[in-house]
Amino acid sequence: MAKSLYDIVADLDNFPYSDAKPTLHADLFDRYHALRVEGIEEDLGYIPTTLVRRIPWPDKDWVVVDHPRAVVLMTAPETSASCSVRTRMMEAVVHRMIDAGCVEIRDGWRDEQFPVYGPDGDVVFEIERSASAYFGVVTSGVQMLGYVVDDDEETGRIRLWIAKRSMRKQTYPGMLDCTAAGALTVGQTPRSTVMLEAAEEASIPRAVLEKGLRRSGCISYFHAKGLRSQLGGDGSMALLLPEVEYLYELRLDPGTVPRPRDGEVEDFRLWNVDQVLDALRRGLFKPNSAVAIIEVLIRRGMISREVEPRYVEMVTRLHRRLPLPWRETWED
């Protein structure tokens, strides 16, 4: 059954809001231990309590508190080389999670590190990409839409280059995607990441990217993976994924055609906006790419109250205030 554009956004930003559903919000948060670091006042993530109780937390490194629920890494921020020390301590926890049966971490291992920021914008520690969801930390990525102008761009007559993900992808194989996308890992900025992904995934020349790539805003959302099964009472644990996506657009001339290069993409197709909206409503897009495209079309005036009755609420949910610290960064 076709979904509304609002439903697509709400399915991704699905952790309940405290003002709209205070009882459910409090009940869900009660199922997690906050991830904290000695000397830092704010929570840095959320680990399912069922998982906290399945693995050992060595007393010399950790303090586990049940009221309020938290696991505290006992290494002060001013410690020399503290980020690298914490990163090694977190890696040890990751391997204990794998030993406890979290085989998805092992099977999805990327050898890519996500930075985890404190309230002052400094990196507190780094975490393996495949393990990040088990700690509920804020992660970031980039999404780029290439487009072709059929007429005067002011009229909105554009077509979008849509990628189809390879069936060999670890996540969302065969689904539709933005022209290029990727995770924002340690040492990278949004621009450097999108430049790399656009060249590797879509064979777009660097000169074209340097000339035409432009920012198109960002989105934030709070997703709970497995939330419905947890609420259903089958014992599953939802993993919390608060995320930020940096968005870019690239106008391409008709002679510049994206082509698969690194095996991540099966093919590209040039679609008009109506074709893209139809595929969105039929659930053919990777979820966070779907909301990235919705945001871009909103900014261009191609999605309005006439297209989506819950327009205002949808726009609000695309820019959620996250309950954890993260650092906004755009340029090299």
How does pLDDT run across 170-202, given as a tens digit for each residue?
889 999 999 999 999 999 999 999 999 999 999
Are both 123 and 181 inside the same structural domain?
no
Q: Which of 107, 135, 163 is the last residue of a domain?
A: 135
Residue 16, domain member (yes or no): no
Q: How far apart are CA 49 and CA 245, in angstroms?
A: 28
Are both 170 and 294 inside the same structural domain?
yes
The C-alpha angle with vertex 131 and arms to 90 and 51, in degrees rounded to 5, equals 80
Confidence of residue 235 (pLDDT cuts 50, 70, 90): very low
Pick from 118, 158, 151, 114: nearest CA to 134 = 114
Q: Is the pLDDT score of 79 beyond 70?
A: no
Amino acid letter for position 188: Q
* Domain coverage including residue 37: 31-135
- SS3 state of residue 332: coil
Q: Which of 117, 135, 153 is the last residue of a domain?
A: 135
Q: Is the pLDDT score of 153 beyond 80?
A: no
Task: Provide the number of structural domains found in the chain.
Answer: 2
Pick from 199, 226, 192, 211: nearest CA to 330 = 192
Residue 8, domain member (yes or no): no
Q: Is the pLDDT score of 154 beyond 70?
A: no
What mean pLDDT do residues 73-86 have?
78
Residue 26, domain member (yes or no): no
Q: Is the pLDDT score of 77 beyond 80?
A: no
What is the domain-level CATH number for residue 64? 3.30.750.160
Are both 249 and 284 inside the same structural domain?
yes
Are both 157 and 269 inside the same structural domain?
yes
- Give every CB contact of residue 147 below 8 A, 6+ residues apart in sequence: 158, 159, 160, 161, 249, 250, 251, 252
Residue 272, domain member (yes or no): yes
Pick from 267, 285, 287: nearest CA to 276 = 285
Q: Is the pLDDT score of 317 beyond 80?
A: yes
Are both 120 and 257 inside the same structural domain?
no
Model-level pTM?
0.92
Are both 166 and 212 inside the same structural domain?
yes
- SS3 state of residue 12: helix
Burial class (CB in 10 A: 0-12, 13-18, 19+), 88: exposed
Q: Which of 135, 169, 191 is the last residue of a domain?
A: 135
Residue 214, domain member (yes or no): yes
What is the domain-level CATH number for residue 160? 3.90.79.10
